[in-house]
Structure 1
Amino acid sequence: MANDIKDTVHAVEAAAVMELLPSRPRLLALGEPTHGEETLLDLRNDLFRQLVEQEGYRAIAVESDCMRGLVVDDYVTGGTGTLDGVMANGFSHPDLGLTASAANRELVRWMRAYNDGRPASESLRFAGFDGPLEITHAASPRGALTALHGCLAAQVDAALLPCTAETLDRLLGADDRWTDPAAMRDPARSVGRSEGARELRLLADDLVALLDERTPHLITATSRDEWNRARLYGRTATGLLRYHFWMADASPSRMTRLLGLRDRMMAGNLLALAERGPALVHAHNGHLQRARSSMRMGGRPVEWWSAGALVSAQLGDRYAFLATSLGTIHHKGVDTPPPDTVEGLLYALPEDRYLVDVRRLATVLADTRPAARVSPYYGYASLDPSHLAGYDGMVFVKDVPRR
């Protein structure tokens, strides 16, 4: 079988990726099975450069706060700020090492250098596509809601606005009411179902409706980029208020709703990105796969539809997903994979990394049913062999060293 397996693999190159796909997708999603490993981020950077230079891709989206991502985009497109400042303020999830990542820094530096001197129509764009959500808390809706109100107030008759900025400020109150970490475990600590929060949800809905109604004027008076930014503010404001509402829920379905809402926010941002041209998307496999995502929380299984599943349902073959699997992360206790797993079969091949044609791999495996690898490290999600049919390809990295 080893020789047959060898026939299913190629070098990890943009041209080889495109040969696996029926057409160039609007969104090419590259997953990762664990966060914070520079080797995987370096691979992402290499593939993105090739997609830009050979396939005309002009954007990348990563699993980071969509509002913070605007800071990075302003830097790479216009040189606003400094690289140090952008790395400190443009990424979320510090527990995943995004701000300290040398590979992320190199990505931002390279994008800025590439854009220097190029017209806007040829410039590379950066986006975060996660909501402003951390493991311990969700952000206050203040930033997105007041930004949306400000965009409209600058271009629309004040009589059409559903409220004043002062009303929003009064209803929002102190931001630490929204970001209280205790609310993640104790619904009673959340302000998401307070009288003020309910009123804010109605106002946010009216502001988004007004934005939609005034689209022709807003694009003409400002620019399509500014209009897209206002739409992002609207999605984020309504998404955060909905998320906080469900944080205050005490029913058994609370975590299922929260996890599903997070991926729904991701999907909304990705669909908006797809409108603007081909982009590479990078996040955990679990957010990008077409299958339902699952995890255990409090000893109970929780399942929800991933962002990839939601986007794929709408885009069809304009969405493509490459899962990444790996052999070892010795510094995290992930050692050589068992030979009866998909990872074990690929690990036996001589090269360090491969692009795998999963359709040919399925033919080679035929009636063989590879075992599922059991991960000894909670931060690494091993490949689920039953999901292979939902991949358009797979990247395999043999060893992930400590960096």
Structure 2
Amino acid sequence: MATDITDTGITDTGITDTAHAVDAAAVMGLLPARPRLLALGEPTHGEDTLLDLRNELFRQLVEEEGYRTIAIESDCMRGLAVDDYVTSGTGTLDEVMEHGISHDWGAFAANRELVRWMRAHNARADADGRPASERLRFAGFDGPLEITHAASPRQALTALHGYLAARVDADLLPCTAETLDRLLGADERWADPAAMTDPSRSVGRSAEAGRLRLLADDLVALLDAQTPHLLTATSREGWDRARLYARTATGLLRYHHWMADPSPTRMTRLCALRDQMMADTLLALAERGPVLVHAQNAHLQREKSSMRMWQGPVEWWSAGALASARLGEEYAFVATAVGTIRHRGVDTPPPDTLEGLLYALPEDRCLIDAPRLAAALGETRPAPRVSSWFGYAPLDPAHLAAIDGFVFVKDVPRRNRS
């Protein structure tokens, strides 16, 4: 059955033929094989309606497709506390929601429900005597970064040093813990918000920072060189965490170095470095089994990402584009588009936009076969939607052919958080 969208100049698009119910089976039906990284994007942050949809899809992927890990756009170091809680009950739900999820997203009801459900699922598995390999795992895959600042590399660098110091001969270490502490200095110097817009305020090109980059490189080289010994002296889990410390330490030091760059390409480079850190963590997670990834569409798409910042427009390759280049068909991207977010001033979409075409459908939400829709539209593309609110990014119709599918949610209502 075809839909005749005469008011838009686009006729006989066959749009309803591309729409499916939103569930794990339908998502998998769009893909050639089960991907190691299944990326679910969102066009805005902090809406529990979209997070509820993510939670529902993850439960289905766990029960029907053997997925065991979810990775969200949150601090990878802080996420370790959440993973400890869901796998072994370490800490309390209140503690990990407050301290284990960055960007203040631990306050969202749907994120709390996700962590609660994962812990309950694992507790049942433990009671049934199922192996540890069947436990659900939680990961943050963002760096310790905010739009306002970047964290000190202290936590990651000292954790890497401590892991190695406990397991290899002291003579092999490039420095002592005391040397690291002296070179790192006060954490506030690294996390100064003024450095984000004023490169002269950054410590990233100081003599101490330069020395730390060399030491971090030597520590990572030692971690790699000692892998056979370390895998017998500790668990695979411990070694994986040490690799996370290594990626984060070197990534943060590189990020701070370029924060001190006064050139016009500074923000382009910083955006690219952030997504490179994300991609490296996602690829490491994919080594242990299939992962559902959830983040803003721009971090997961295959096309180049773009944003207008105070230095002007910037473009960079996203974590998803980098992972897709490495994994091929083992990476899949399902975006999310919405009709309205009225409490944010995002009202009914114009009928000549992609969201406007979909808003005419009767379903509250549906899964769209994006390549099939692109083929149905042919050379005609709907007009790009212009957002009235900076926190929402409409789906770019030009990207349809590079998306495996997308979920359309007709209306995103306000959620009372009290």
Structures share fold, TM-score greater than 0.5: yes
Structure 1 residue 299 displacement after superposition: 6.2
**Consecutive unaligned residues in structure 1, runs of 5 or more:** none
Residue 370 (1) aligns with residue 377 (2)? no
Match of 1:99 in 2: 106
Q: 2:267 aligns with which of 255, 277, 292?
A: 255
Aligned to 1:307: 319
Instruction: Determine whether 1:349 maps to 2:356.
Output: no
1:125 and 2:137 equivalent?
A: yes
Give, in angstroms, the shift of residue 368 of structure 1: 2.2
TM-superposition CA deviations, 1:43-84 (whole Å, max 9, x none): 000000000000000000000000001000000001000000
Match of 2:11 in 1: none
Inter-partner Cα distance in structure 2 for 1:180 and 1:394: 39
Query: Match of 2:268, SS?
Result: helix
Structure-1 residue corresponding to 2:146: 134
Secondary structure in 1 aligned to 2:112? Answer: helix
Q: CA deviation at 1:205?
A: 0.3
Tell me how far apart the structure 1 counterparts of residues 256 and 370 of structure 2 sit (CA, whole Å): 40
Residues in 2 aligned to 1:8 and 1:196: alpha-carbon distance in whole angstroms = 57
Residue in structure 1 matched with residue 299 of structure 2 by the alignment: 287
Which residue pairs with 1:82 in the alignment?
92
Tell me if 1:63 matches 2:73.
yes
Q: Which runs of 5+ in 2 are unaligned?
A: 5-13
Q: TM-score, normalised by structure 2?
A: 0.95
C-alpha displacement at 1:296, in angstroms? 1.0
Deviations, residues 238-291 of structure 1 (Å, cap 9, x unaligned): 000000001111111111111110000000100101111001000000000001
| Corresponding residue for residue 2 of structure 1 | 3
Task: State the distance in 2 between where 1:379 and 1:204 align.
Answer: 36
Instruction: State the match for 2:221 in structure 1.
Output: 209
CA contact (8 A) 1:263 1:306 kept: yes
| 1:146 maps onto 2:158 in alignment | yes
The match for 1:41 among 41, 51, 54 is 51
Taking the aligned partners of 2:66 and 2:185, their CA distance within structure 1 comes to 46
Q: For this pair of structures, how many residues does the alignment match? A: 400
Is 1:179 equivalent to 2:191 in the alignment? Answer: yes
TM-score under structure 1 length normalisation: 0.98
Structure 2 counterpart of 1:53, which letter? E
Q: Do 2:381 and 2:398's aligned partners in 1 also have CA atoms closer than 8 Å?
A: no
CA contact (8 A) 2:160 2:246 kept: yes
1:222 to 227, 234, 253: 234
Q: Which residue of 2 aligns with 1:24?
A: 34
**Structure 1 residue aligned with 2:206, among 173, 178, 194?**
194
Distance in 1, Cα, partners of 2:252 & 2:310: 24
What percent of counterpart residues are identical? 77
Distance 1:80 1:227 in 2: 20
Letter paired with 2:86 = V
Pick aligned residue for 2:115 from 95, 108, 131: 108
The alpha-carbon deviation at position 358 of structure 1 amounts to: 1.1
| Structure 1 position 150, deviation (Å) | 0.4
Whole-angstrom distance in 2 between the partners of 1:126 and 1:224: 17
Counterpart AA for 2:52: D
How far did residue 119 of structure 1 move?
A: 2.6
SS in 1 for 2:180: helix
The equivalent position to 1:393 in structure 2, one of 390, 394, 405, is 405
Q: Alpha-carbon deviations, 1:87-126, whole Å to 9, x = none?
A: 00001112xxx11100000000000000011431110000
Q: Which amino acid in structure 1 is aligned with residue 61 of structure 2? A: L
Residue 5 (structure 1) shift? 1.2
Show CA shifts across 1:198-235 (max 9, x none): 00000000000000001111111111110000000000
Partner of 2:350: helix, strand, or coil?
Answer: coil
Instruction: Give the root-mean-square deviation of aligned CA atoms.
Output: 0.9
